Structure 1
Amino acid sequence: MNLTIHGAARQVTGSMHLLEVDQYKILIDCGLDYEKDRSIQSNEDLPFNAANIDVVVLTHAHIDHSGNLPTLVRLGFEGQILCTPPTADLTELLLLDSVNIFINKAQKSRKHRKGKFNTGAQPLYLQKHVMDTVERFITIGFNKPFRLNGNVELTFIPVGHLLGAAAAVFKVNDNGEEKTIAFTGDIGRKNYPVLNDPEPLPHVDYLVTEATYGGRNHTKGKTVEEVLVETIEKCCVKEQGRLIIPAFSIGRTQSLVYSLNKIFTSGLLPPVKVFVDSPMASMATGIFRKYHHLVNAEAQDFYNKRGDEFEFDNLTYVETLKDSRQVSNYFEPCIIISSAGMLEGGRIQDHLFYNIQNYYCTILFIGYCAKGTLGHRLLRGDPIVHIKDRDLAVYATIKQTDVLSAHGDHDDLLNNIRTQDKSRLKNVFLVHGEASSMEAFAAAVRDEGYEVTIPEKGVSYTL
């Protein structure tokens, strides 16, 4: 049995891991790598022949785990893509959105290079390739063993983080010897709005785990509601301004809306208009409703007592681009939730364009921003940023909180490993984290008595 880490090696994005059992090739995740030193087109350079992959196992829908699946299909992959039912639905939404982003960027590139020989960047894939990909989805429920072939069995274990997110646990017959290996995907945190807590993994021989928050713990002491109340009260009630919250359309927005619902329906704040300006967020919320049996007990109890947790007075889901532009003409205090979370596209850029120089505007980041993104530049304090072909001075207040981070922190990740049998677990492979985070986490795992490896990209390990 061989393991090769082809993506998210010593970095966060681009998850892609190859597990080979005899001649059978299993690809775990196939995400987009959008680190600052890579172009989108560079994702086309797969480190293997796509036609040789037998099956793909997808841990969850986020684009850094799913975003390069259509490229894999376009380049010759003909097998099945296994995932949970919510992951299949959410991934389709995200991949179709990626196509629109690619096409818009290609059009802008051609516009800037008009009359030159080089016509600019081409889309990585098209809608046809997404639909070809979606046709390959085979869905499997949580905790239901599924046999891939005579030698490999797969089980999905819930890990929180996102609706449908799962760790992939493989039981392998490797030349008569039984071996087990688990890929965590992204691990959620306990008591997160809407989502269930991660379930412990079964004891395994090898563990491939994310390390996003290695060496860092989330801020303790304040709940999601307390942080939001404090921010909204200052920005929208006392200063009569507007609060803009960049949020990923899938997962983060639903948790945020539910938290705001609890705040306003409980009378913790006077009514404030809330705009959710993301068509994809509206569609994703429909998927959350479809799989309502998978949300946590608190959200289900809220639904039974007060109704839909994703609807409340003064909440408006903005659908059309025309309506989105009208939000800029709303001069009363308000909260605008819009995508994308790192500010690299979507309607959020329009809201920033019109508000970045507004002294009475607060921009609240509630998620991770990769290096090189507009969100990262704002968070590091750049006084001037480039938005929609213009350089604009930053007068708005920039804030960040990690209370809505959907990733488990250092202690959460370490506790996940502590549940493993030291006498059985032979190696822990760290992926999906910046190099400094991995080094800090590796030291902690070694202190617990486990063997740890921080893989280099493309290096194979015999297990």
Structure 2
Amino acid sequence: MKLTIHGAARQVTGSMHLLQVDKYKILVDCGLDYEKDHNIQMNEDFPFDPVEIDLVILTHAHIDHSGNLPTLVRLGFEGQILCTPPTADLTELLLMDSVSIFMRKAQKKGKRGKSKFNSGGQPLYLQKHVMDTVERFVTIGFNRPFRVNGDIELTFIPVGHLLGAAAAVLKINDNGTEKSIAFTGDIGRKNYPVLNDPESLPQVDYLVTESTYGGRFHSKGKSVEETLVEVIEKACIKEQGRMIIPAFSIGRTQSLVFALNKIFSSGLLPPVKVFVDSPMASMATGIYRKYHNLVNQEAQDFYKNQGDEFEFDNLTYVETLKDSRQVSNYFEPCIIISSAGMLEGGRIQDHLFYNIQNYYCTILFIGYCAKGTLGHRLLRGDSIVHIKDRDLAVYATIKQTDVLSAHGDHEDLTNVVHQQDKTKNKSVFLVHGETESMQALADSLEFDEYKVVIPEKGISYEL
């Protein structure tokens, strides 16, 4: 059995791990690498032949885990893609949105006679390739062992982070020897709005775990609602300004809307107009309603006692581009929730374009921003940023909170590893994290006497 980390090796995005059992090749996740400065051609240059991949296992829908699947299919992959039912539905939404973003950027670059896409100046993939990909989805429920073939069994374990997100646990007969390996995908955190807490993983021989927040700890002491009340009260009540919250349409927006619902329905703040400016967020919310049996008990109880957790007075889901532009002309205090969370495309760029130089605007980041993104540049304090072909001075107030981060912190990550008996676990592989985060987590685990590997990209490990 051989493991090769082809993506998210000593970086966060582009998760892609190849597990080879004899001649059978399994690809765990196939995400877009956003840290290649959007040189899309680099994303289509797979370090293996897609035709030779027998199976794909998808841990969850986020684009840094799913976003390169249509490319894999376009270049010859013909196998099944195994995932949970919510992951299949949410991934289809995200991939269709990626096509729209690719098309807009291809047209934009084409006008300049230069493209950062593939050699023909075309998008990485088209709607047809997304539909071809969706046809390959085979969905499996949580905690239901699935026999891949005579030698391999797969079980999805809930890990929070996103509706449908799962760790992939594989039991393998490797030439007569029983082996086990788990891929955590992205690990959630406890007491997160809407989502259930991550479940414990079984004992495995090898663990491949994310390390995004290695060495970092989430803020403690204030709840999600308390933190939001404090920021909203200053930005929208006292200063009578507007607050823009970049949020991923799938996952983060639903948790944020539920938190705001609890705040306003309980009277913690006077009413403030809230715009959710993302058609994809509206569609994703429909999927959350579809799989309402998978949301946490708090959300289910809220629904029974007070109604839809994703609807409340003064909340408007903005659908059309025309209505989105009218939001910019709404001069009363308001909260604008728009995608994408790292500011790389989407309607959020329009709102930033018109508000980045507004002294009475607060931009609140509620999630991770990868290096190279506009969000990362704002968070590091750049005084001038490039938006929609213009260099704009930053006069708006930039704030960040981690209370709505869907990633577990250092303590959460170590707790996942500590579920493993260190005398039985043979190696812990760290992926999906910046080098400093990986090293901090590795140091902590090695102190606890776990065998830790920080894999290099493309290096194979015999298991």
How far the C-alpha of 1:34 sits from its partner, in A, is 1.0
Match of 1:255 in 2: 255
For residues 247-286 of structure 1, give each alpha carbon's deviation from its aligned partner in whole angstroms, at most 9, with x where no partner exists. 0000000000000000000000000000000000000000
User: Does the aligned pair in 1 maintain the 2:142–2:158 contact within 8 Å?
Assistant: yes
User: Does the aligned pair in 1 maintain the 2:229–2:268 contact within 8 Å?
Assistant: yes
Match of 2:200 in 1: 200
Asked if 1:88 corresponds to 2:88, the answer is: yes
Q: What letter matches 1:162 in structure 2?
A: L
- In the alignment, the residues of structure 1 paired with residue 357 and residue 376 of structure 2 have an alpha-carbon distance, to the nearest angstrom, of 18
User: Does the aligned pair in 1 maintain the 2:430–2:453 contact within 8 Å?
Assistant: yes
User: Does the aligned pair in 1 maintain the 2:343–2:349 contact within 8 Å?
Assistant: yes
Match of 1:140 in 2: 140
Match of 2:172 in 1: 172
Q: Describe the SS at the equivalent of 2:32.
A: coil
User: Does the aligned pair in 2 maintain the 1:167–1:184 contact within 8 Å?
Assistant: yes
- In the alignment, the residues of structure 1 paired with residue 78 and residue 391 of structure 2 have an alpha-carbon distance, to the nearest angstrom, of 46
User: Does the aligned pair in 2 maintain the 1:41–1:121 contact within 8 Å?
Assistant: no
- In the alignment, the residues of structure 2 paired with residue 53 and residue 252 of structure 1 have an alpha-carbon distance, to the nearest angstrom, of 32
How far the C-alpha of 1:423 sits from its partner, in A, is 1.4
- In the alignment, the residues of structure 2 paired with residue 242 and residue 297 of structure 1 have an alpha-carbon distance, to the nearest angstrom, of 33
For residues 197-254 of structure 1, give each alpha carbon's deviation from its aligned partner in whole angstroms, at most 9, with x where no partner exists. 0000000000000000001011111111011000010010011000000000000000
How far the C-alpha of 1:113 sits from its partner, in A, is 2.1
Q: Describe the SS at the equivalent of 1:202.
A: coil
- In the alignment, the residues of structure 1 paired with residue 119 and residue 5 of structure 2 have an alpha-carbon distance, to the nearest angstrom, of 34
- Which structure 2 residues correspond to residues 114-153 of structure 1 after superposition, within 5 A? 121-153=121-153
- Which structure 2 residues correspond to residues 377-456 of structure 1 after superposition, within 5 A? 377-456=377-456
Where does the alignment leave 5 or more consecutive residues of structure 2 unmatched?
A: none
For residues 282-301 of structure 1, give each alpha carbon's deviation from its aligned partner in whole angstroms, at most 9, with x where no partner exists. 00000000000000000000
Q: Describe the SS at the equivalent of 2:244.
A: strand
- In the alignment, the residues of structure 2 paired with residue 91 and residue 433 of structure 1 have an alpha-carbon distance, to the nearest angstrom, of 22
User: Does the aligned pair in 2 maintain the 1:10–1:454 contact within 8 Å?
Assistant: yes
How far the C-alpha of 1:41 sits from its partner, in A, is 2.0
User: Does the aligned pair in 2 maintain the 1:110–1:119 contact within 8 Å?
Assistant: no
How far the C-alpha of 1:391 sits from its partner, in A, is 1.1
- In the alignment, the residues of structure 1 paired with residue 36 and residue 256 of structure 2 have an alpha-carbon distance, to the nearest angstrom, of 28
User: Does the aligned pair in 2 maintain the 1:279–1:319 contact within 8 Å?
Assistant: yes
Match of 1:279 in 2: 279
Match of 1:185 in 2: 185
Q: Describe the SS at the equivalent of 2:179.
A: strand
- In the alignment, the residues of structure 2 paired with residue 338 and residue 37 of structure 1 have an alpha-carbon distance, to the nearest angstrom, of 22
How far the C-alpha of 1:36 sits from its partner, in A, is 4.3
- In the alignment, the residues of structure 2 paired with residue 114 and residue 152 of structure 1 have an alpha-carbon distance, to the nearest angstrom, of 46
For residues 325-349 of structure 1, give each alpha carbon's deviation from its aligned partner in whole angstroms, at most 9, with x where no partner exists. 0001111000000000111100001
- In the alignment, the residues of structure 2 paired with residue 120 and residue 460 of structure 1 have an alpha-carbon distance, to the nearest angstrom, of 32
User: Does the aligned pair in 2 maintain the 1:70–1:132 contact within 8 Å?
Assistant: yes
How far the C-alpha of 1:120 sits from its partner, in A, is 7.3
How many residues of Structure 1 are paired with residues of Structure 2 in the alignment? Answer: 461
Q: Describe the SS at the equivalent of 2:41.
A: helix
- In the alignment, the residues of structure 2 paired with residue 40 and residue 403 of structure 1 have an alpha-carbon distance, to the nearest angstrom, of 32
User: Does the aligned pair in 1 maintain the 2:161–2:188 contact within 8 Å?
Assistant: yes
Match of 1:298 in 2: 298
- In the alignment, the residues of structure 2 paired with residue 376 and residue 450 of structure 1 have an alpha-carbon distance, to the nearest angstrom, of 33
- In the alignment, the residues of structure 1 paired with residue 79 and residue 37 of structure 2 have an alpha-carbon distance, to the nearest angstrom, of 31
Match of 2:158 in 1: 158
- In the alignment, the residues of structure 1 paired with residue 37 and residue 377 of structure 2 have an alpha-carbon distance, to the nearest angstrom, of 15
Which portions of structure 1, spanning 4 or more consecutive aligned residues, are displaced by more than 6 angstroms? none
Q: Describe the SS at the equivalent of 2:82.
A: strand
Match of 1:215 in 2: 215
User: Does the aligned pair in 2 maintain the 1:106–1:120 contact within 8 Å?
Assistant: no
- In the alignment, the residues of structure 1 paired with residue 176 and residue 385 of structure 2 have an alpha-carbon distance, to the nearest angstrom, of 59
For residues 371-429 of structure 1, give each alpha carbon's deviation from its aligned partner in whole angstroms, at most 9, with x where no partner exists. 11111111111111111111111111000000000000000000111111111100000
Q: Describe the SS at the equivalent of 2:226.
A: helix
CA RMSD of aligned residues (A): 1.2
User: Does the aligned pair in 1 maintain the 2:16–2:28 contact within 8 Å?
Assistant: yes
Match of 1:314 in 2: 314
Match of 1:338 in 2: 338
**Taking structure 2 as the reference length, what is the TM-score of the superposition?**
0.98
User: Does the aligned pair in 2 maintain the 1:113–1:120 contact within 8 Å?
Assistant: no
- In the alignment, the residues of structure 2 paired with residue 146 and residue 287 of structure 1 have an alpha-carbon distance, to the nearest angstrom, of 24
- In the alignment, the residues of structure 2 paired with residue 45 and residue 312 of structure 1 have an alpha-carbon distance, to the nearest angstrom, of 46
Q: What letter matches 1:308 in structure 2?
A: D
- In the alignment, the residues of structure 2 paired with residue 157 and residue 439 of structure 1 have an alpha-carbon distance, to the nearest angstrom, of 26
Q: What letter matches 2:277 in structure 1?
A: D
- In the alignment, the residues of structure 1 paired with residue 454 and residue 422 of structure 2 have an alpha-carbon distance, to the nearest angstrom, of 19
- In the alignment, the residues of structure 2 paired with residue 267 and residue 40 of structure 1 have an alpha-carbon distance, to the nearest angstrom, of 47
Asked if 1:51 corresponds to 2:51, the answer is: yes
For residues 77-128 of structure 1, give each alpha carbon's deviation from its aligned partner in whole angstroms, at most 9, with x where no partner exists. 000000000000000000000001111110000112289xx99732000000
Q: What letter matches 1:34 in structure 2?
A: Y
Match of 2:229 in 1: 229
Q: What letter matches 1:31 in structure 2?
A: G
Where does the alignment leave 5 or more consecutive residues of structure 1 unmatched?
A: none
- In the alignment, the residues of structure 2 paired with residue 186 and residue 262 of structure 1 have an alpha-carbon distance, to the nearest angstrom, of 27
Instruction: Compare 373-382 and 266-275 and name the one that shifted more.
Output: 373-382
Distance 1:240 1:37, change over 3 A: closer
Instruction: Compare 254-263 and 382-391 and name the one that shifted more.
Output: 382-391
Q: What letter matches 1:310 in structure 2?
A: F
- In the alignment, the residues of structure 2 paired with residue 169 and residue 379 of structure 1 have an alpha-carbon distance, to the nearest angstrom, of 36
User: Does the aligned pair in 2 maintain the 1:2–1:21 contact within 8 Å?
Assistant: yes
How far the C-alpha of 1:38 sits from its partner, in A, is 5.4
